Structure 1
Amino acid sequence: MFFEQDDNLITITGRYNHEDGLIVGTIHGNVVSSRWIQSSNDRSGLFEFTIATDGQSFQGSWCYGTDVNRRDWYNGWDARRVK
């Protein structure tokens, strides 16, 4: 997965290999709220993750569609910085 922030440090974009995934979102403090889109299978949804205080990792949740009802969210979207 690759993320990039724009110059105003509020908007992020990213890509991931699974199903040609695209992420577009915003950062508020250490919380990233975003939408994910998989162009090769026409699926999309929301995710929210919290960046660790050292800035080297994040943990979060995701869901299909735009339903923000937490019982429909899945835990386990996490990563560690490699560069």
Structure 2
Amino acid sequence: MRILFASGKGGAGKTTVTAGIAALWPKPCVVADADVEAPDLAIFLKPTLTAERTIELDVPVAVDASRCNLCGECIELCQFNA
């Protein structure tokens, strides 16, 4: 069984709910924190890490204003039009 919590909004409780479910889930279980901005699930669970992977974004987390030419490409890629 796979359970996934996803949302673009920070502070919704995804990590807290995931940690609670993982703590109660029969062992062994695999828990993956794919939050590219704040992967802090390990703070709650104190796991033994068996693997680590790089997760890449399609859009930059921060725009380098000195390289911006106002093309608008980042707006087109952003699902929130930010």
**Which protein is bigger by CA-based radius of gyration?**
2
Q: TM-score, normalised by structure 2?
A: 0.27
Q: Which has the higher strand share?
A: 1
Q: TM-score, normalised by structure 1?
A: 0.26
Q: Which has the higher helix share?
A: 2
Greater RCO between the two (CA within 8 Å, min separation 6)? 2
